[in-house]
Structure 1
Amino acid sequence: MPPEYAPLPLHIDGGSDSDHPSTPRSPTLIPFSPTWPRHRRWRRRGFWALLPRLLLTLLTYIAPVVVLLALGGLFLYEPHVEISFYERAWVRSEIEPVAPLAGCFSAARVSPAYNVSEAVYGPKHTEVHAGLPMRLGMDCYDFAGTMHAAARGRAALPVDARTHFHTYWRTDLAAFGERQEWMLKSFFATQDLGSTRLVLWSNGDLSGNAILQKWRRRFPDAFVLRTVDYHELAQGTVLADSELLRVKDKKAWIDGDLVRLLVLWAYGGVWIDMDSLLTRDLAPLLEHEFVTQWDCYDKLYVPFNGALMHFRKHSPYLCEAFHIMATSPPPRQGTTDWGATLYLKLWRRLVAASIPPFKVLPFCFTDGHACRLDNRLPDPFTSDPSDGRWTMGLTRDEGGGLDRALNKVFSVHLHNQWEKDFPPNGWVERLLLRRYDRKLSSFERTSREAGEF
């Protein structure tokens, strides 16, 4: 008789049918549960409730680690960060194109007052291009020390044969006072007054200023005041009678850049910004026509500065600059469109035409503060530290490292910080201003003994 089989239950243990629905289970299908969306919403609310605590944990433990890593990185590595923003449309239209020259270097157009063979192609005794950016240590200052001046002549030159130094002051912006006087003192104390002459240009009459009257009486052959006449200065250029001659701005940037080019065209010589202090005789540089480097970083679109520059009378370099000014969009207010940008356009056009460009003085020759933290000149308006240190173990004492560097470079550019005072007994006062006064006092004593007063 065959055995009888009883059906086995579909559940493992003996639970009730209500606990185990008869719906077949599938290993791949999740059984429907009416409570599942409610659990999901609960999990979402739980996450947002825990988020503040999670963030607090991150800030408590991870942020200090990040800070320590950053400090360790600064100890081991030297960061160099500089961010500038330039409008792409401006770069494409004003920087990238290299237009042809206007022909100012052609023999038919060069002024009889300018000797191309001598000025552009003639031999030079002093090399002002180092071939390196000179960002390390004292390299730039040491290179400046290789410029040696010839012995000064004893006989004073006629006024017309002298090298003219030009500077400019806007009478409508501020009165000419003792702070501005320091630039004059720096000139009289450092330059050869028998072969140079300082011309102070202004947009108004400065003849009644007591400070300036004093220096005119003291150095009648080496100092003169003049008022800017744009149309007179622009004669012989493409800017003659142009509306561009009336352009100026509140910062005196645009009109200041225009004045420096016009007076150098008309008279030739050296341009020195009023916010500068000369530190030594510029004679070793004057066989070259030059502008200066903006800083030691070679900014891509503004590598040049005109705070100190030298061009000969009716220089074709300036003739080409005026052509660029006349054919470019008018300068924007408060910009260097007629300064750094103009010099860059001119330099690129010159080399594209295979004409030797003007020289570019290394940054520290005139603006030693515009470089790295470890080798820049100290801030002129900050008090000296109590230990008297400058950098790299060098001191700020007389005869110390800073003093030696100042004796090698040619100028200290102060960047229009007229509202700031030099700290009492700071390095500017000790190593520059007092020496100007001592040198000028010595001149006065010598002149009195010679019966010149």
Structure 2
Amino acid sequence: MRLRRGFTVFLKFAFPLVFIIGSTAVYYLYEPHGSIGLVFHRRAWIQREILPLSPLAGCFKPERISPLYNVSDAVYGRKRFEVQAGVPMRMGMDCYELAGIVSFAEGERKTEEQYIPPEERAQFHTYWRVDLAPLGEKQEYMLKSFFATQDLPRSRLILWSNGDLSNYSVVQKYLELFPGSFTLQIVDIPELAKDTAMENHHLLNLEDKKAWVDGDLVRLLVIWAYGGAWIDMDMLLTRDLSPLLEHEFVTQWDCYDKIYQPFNGALMHFYKHSPYLCEAFHLMAHSTPPRSPSTDWGSVLYHRLWRRLLNESIPPFKILPFCFSDPLVCRLDNRAPEPFEPDRIDGKWTGRPGEGLEEGGALDRALGKIFAVHLHNRWDKAFPEGGWVDRLLLRRHEEEMERKVRINGEL
């Protein structure tokens, strides 16, 4: 009996000890991979919506291409920069280094002295649903990052909404400071949908409490009607987007393999009346209604369209690597630090504690190569004072804004 009790006690402590030692050995000998969290998709939905390849609508046929769209240049023309990698780039700083290559040489792109009318500049769009939340300081971060980083004599930002934003002090400030580079528009979905497959469609009035379905629809309709780049309001721009604008693109969701929704439209660019968008509207109009809330008219739609383009031998739109606009979603050893927590000295970016997050350090250099930081709608969180977002982005945006305002006052 005593022997049996002793053996039981031994097993009670031995098993946890063996597990801990084994787990530690596996950690040091092997490198685990995989993203955090599980996503479940109904097999019936996959069989019905994802796997079948219905025919395209023929938007790329010469007789159907808008005279406003130059297919030879947009789809088949030679480009200055390559923005696709062909691999996920999960290792080290590979993605950030590729982003750094997509850049004009110093002094190559000087601001022209000749005035460019606002409607002829590169158009940028963003959207805020005023009925969900007021537009305040946290939303201003994106506006400020735009005016601090973009080539304003060549750029115009259009802030779209489903209501009047002109009375907000935040908005009034930028309308006064940059009248040629900033304007407001109220979304008229039926008007924007004219001459698309979604015109007079019964799904045009869909909404959800997260503004996912209707936001994805507005995103595509606005770019169809006006052309240009889309920037979600939960973005902080880090440098000029101009080098990207020779391509029509969406972005990679993250560096992992989301097999059914690998793309993101938080940052995207298409030309006015792009046949890619024409085909997207056809797919929306002839598919089952989107789930609410969901990315059925966003990430899922882009993937479904991309596969159909390949199936009919049409060069698809480009896919920007994850870190170009979303450096927070990759491996623990190469993603940007958590923006809503105080800085931790872990040496992750340089291997030498205390240097990775400093001005001029590895993170600072990486932010200077990529184009944006996507914050994923975490409006309820605040940036810690003195954290890397505050030091390396927000304060610099403020300083650059003041510099541009002074220059405008001297002209």
TM-score (normalizing by structure 2): 0.94
Mapped to 2, the partners of 1:123 and 1:320 lie a distance apart of 23
Rg larger in 1 or in 2? 1
- For 1:27, the equivalent position in structure 2 comes to none
Structure 2 residue matching 1:306: 3-state secondary structure: strand
| CA apart distance, 1:57 | 4.7
Mapped to 2, the partners of 1:236 and 1:52 lie a distance apart of 82
**CA RMSD between the two structures:** 1.8
- Describe the shift of the 1:236–1:392 C-alpha distance in structure 2 as closer, same or farther (beyond 3 A): farther
1:97 equivalent to 2:48? Answer no
- Unaligned 5+ residue runs, structure 2? none
Mapped to 2, the partners of 1:377 and 1:399 lie a distance apart of 15
Show CA shifts across 1:120-159 (max 9, x none): 0111111111222211111000011101224133233112
| CA apart distance, 1:299 | 1.4
1:356 equivalent to 2:315? Answer yes
Identity of aligned residues (%): 59
| CA apart distance, 1:387 | 6.6
1:148 to 87, 90, 103: 103
- For 2:269, the equivalent position in structure 1 comes to 310
- Unaligned 5+ residue runs, structure 1? 1-45
Q: Which amino acid aligns with 2:83?
A: V
Aligned length: 402
2:365 to 404, 410, 413: 404
Structure 2 residue matching 1:336: 3-state secondary structure: coil
| CA apart distance, 1:440 | 0.9
- For 1:5, the equivalent position in structure 2 comes to none
Structure 1 residue matching 2:54: 3-state secondary structure: coil
Deviates more, 1:169-178 or 1:440-449: 440-449
Show CA shifts across 1:286-340 (max 9, x none): 0000000001113111110000000000000000000000011100011100011
Mapped to 1, the partners of 2:336 and 2:343 lie a distance apart of 12
Deviates more, 1:55-64 or 1:115-124: 55-64
| CA apart distance, 1:52 | 9.7
Q: Is the 8 A contact 2:34 2:256 kept in 1?
A: no
Q: Is the 8 A contact 1:152 1:192 kept in 2?
A: no
Show CA shifts across 1:152-188 (max 9, x none): 3323311221111000001111110011001000000
- For 1:16, the equivalent position in structure 2 comes to none
- For 2:299, the equivalent position in structure 1 comes to 340
1:132 equivalent to 2:91? Answer no
Q: Is the 8 A contact 1:378 1:390 kept in 2?
A: no
Select the structure with the greater relative contact order (CA < 8 A; seq sep ≥ 6).
2
Show CA shifts across 1:321-370 (max 9, x none): 00000011100011100011000000000010000000000000000111
- For 1:66, the equivalent position in structure 2 comes to 19
Mapped to 2, the partners of 1:230 and 1:337 lie a distance apart of 18
Structure 2 residue matching 1:168: 3-state secondary structure: strand
1:114 to 69, 78, 81: 69
Show CA shifts across 1:46-86 (max 9, x none): 9xxx9999765533222211121112211221111344322
- For 1:88, the equivalent position in structure 2 comes to 43
1:160 equivalent to 2:119? Answer yes
Mapped to 1, the partners of 2:110 and 2:210 lie a distance apart of 38
| CA apart distance, 1:238 | 1.0
- For 1:75, the equivalent position in structure 2 comes to 28
Mapped to 2, the partners of 1:54 and 1:87 lie a distance apart of 48
Mapped to 1, the partners of 2:121 and 2:174 lie a distance apart of 18
1:422 equivalent to 2:383? Answer yes
Q: Which amino acid aligns with 2:96?
A: Y
Mapped to 2, the partners of 1:188 and 1:101 lie a distance apart of 39
Show CA shifts across 1:72-127 (max 9, x none): 21122111134432211111111111111000000111111111111101111111
1:224 equivalent to 2:179? Answer no
Q: Which amino acid aligns with 1:60?
A: F
